[in-house]
Amino acid sequence: MKLSNASPPFLHTDVTVMSMLGDRIFALCALLVIPTVRYGPRPLVMAGLSVLICLVCELLTGLMRKEGVPVTEWSFAVTGLVITMLMPVNAPLWLPCAACLFAELAAKAPFGGFGRTPFNPAAAGVAFATLCWPKQMFSYVDPAEPQWLPVWGECSVHTAQSAAAYLKSGLKPDILPFDMLWGDMAGPLGTGAALVIGACALLLFVRRAAHAETTLCFLAAAAALAALFPRIACSPLTSVKYELLSGSLFFCSVFLMDPVSSLHTAAGRCIYGAAAGGLLMAFRHFGAYEQGAVFAVLIANALSPLISSAVGRARGWEGSVYG
């Protein structure tokens, strides 16, 4: 069977593109609650600005191609919100805007927009921001001094090292894994509250807006490598807890494994998820930055057509489901 004219995501009949995107937006908005309570309206302003930039870019590229933007096409909002979640709350406001511009204009528009992007646009935008402004990307507010941050303008705050930075240096983080569940630690805006992310993941799986097998295989591969090759002197179980709860691993396993750049067979999705998890741990061990999830996702995106071809050949299809 060849599906050469259709574009992803390929959804079950009772799920539409609009409902899938709507569920993701709802889940991402839920992740904004705790940071807003803790730091004031700044996270909301960052999210709003990011979404606005993405919308303006969509409209501009639509105008240049003499096409409109469909009302059901809310992927720009997902991109903007994901980018916001991966930024520090004290990041200058131009930083998520720059990431959004890159995501829309370099990772999305040249390939034909939603459904045709070979790479996750949000991952590409955050990767670009990480390479160009690493100091701003890894400077986090010290949670020991809770305060409302200024809505606009620079944040002159005490900063602290994230748990991921401790692990990168080979040190045990100064926080217990149990305390990491609520996100009360230095790190990106929306990736710390593991319990909330878990609840969002369940919602997306039940509503079929995300593939559970991709996320589970991602986490399983990361956990296995964390247990086998711990970065700190501790038991395998402690290593697994710290690795899964630090950085943006858990968040990326749910929100960056999107149906567009993912595969369309369960076996393919499992391999894809495992590959992404393995790559992430490779970046954590050997990469230059404390957070390497977005880079791992980009490489996994590039490998997904190869995985799809291999799965198709193993099943006796002519190379690939696509033409």
Partner 1 sequence: MDDRRLYFREAGTIFWNGMLFRNPVLAGALGLYPVVAAGCGMRNATALSLLFLIIALPTQLLLCLAGMLLPRWARPAAVLLLSAVFYLPAARAVEWLFPGSLADLGMAAALMACNSIVYARASEYAPEHILLAAAADAAGCSVGFAGVICLVSALREYWLTGGLWGTGVSGIGEGLDAPFAGFLLLGFLAALMRQVNIQRERRYAEVE
Partner 2 sequence: MPAFSQLILTALLAVTAENLLFAGGAGFSRALRAARKPSTAGLYALLVTLFSLVSALTGLALEPYLSLLGEEWILRPAVLTAAAGLEYLLAAGLLRVFAPSFLRDHGRILEQAAANTVVLAIPYVQQMFGFHALQALGYALGTGAAFWLAVLILSHAMKICTNPDAPRAFSGLPGVLVYVGILSMAFAGFTGGKVF
Q: Which of 245, 164, 255, 147 is nearest to 209 (CA)?
A: 255
Length reported for the chain = 323
Question: Residues 286 to 315: which contact partner 2 by CB under 8 A?
Answer: 286-289, 292, 294-296, 298-299, 302-303, 305-306, 309
Q: Which of 102-110, 202-210, 213-221, 235-243 is the region at the interface with partner 2 (rule: CB under 8 A)? A: 102-110
Q: Which stretch binds partner 1 (CB under 8 A): 78-86, 128-136, 196-204, 306-314?
A: 128-136
With respect to partner 1, which residue has the nearer C-beta, 132 or 144?
Answer: 132
Tokens (6 digits) for 92: 């200058």
- Residue 189, binding choice from partner 2, partner 1, none, Cβ under 5 to 8 Å by partner class: none
Contact 123, 17 (CB under 8 A): no
- Find residue 61's DSSP bridge partners: none
**115 makes contact with partner 2 (CB under 8 A):** yes
Show contacts with partner 2 in window 242-281 (CB under 8 A).
none
The binder of 171, among partner 1, partner 2, none, by C-beta within 5 to 8 A per type, is: none
Q: Which stretch binds partner 2 (CB under 8 A): 87-95, 126-134, 177-185, 232-240?
A: 126-134
Among 16, 18, 116, 179, binds partner 2 (CB under 8 A): 116
- For residue 154, give Cα distances in angstroms to 47, 157, 296: 16, 9, 31
List % helix, strand, coil for the chain (3-state, nearest 5). Answer: 60, 0, 40
Backbone torsions φ then ψ of 159, nearest 5 degrees: -110, 160
Q: Which stretch binds partner 1 (CB under 8 A): 68-76, 127-135, 169-177, 219-227?
A: 127-135
Residue 140 pairs in a beta bridge with 160
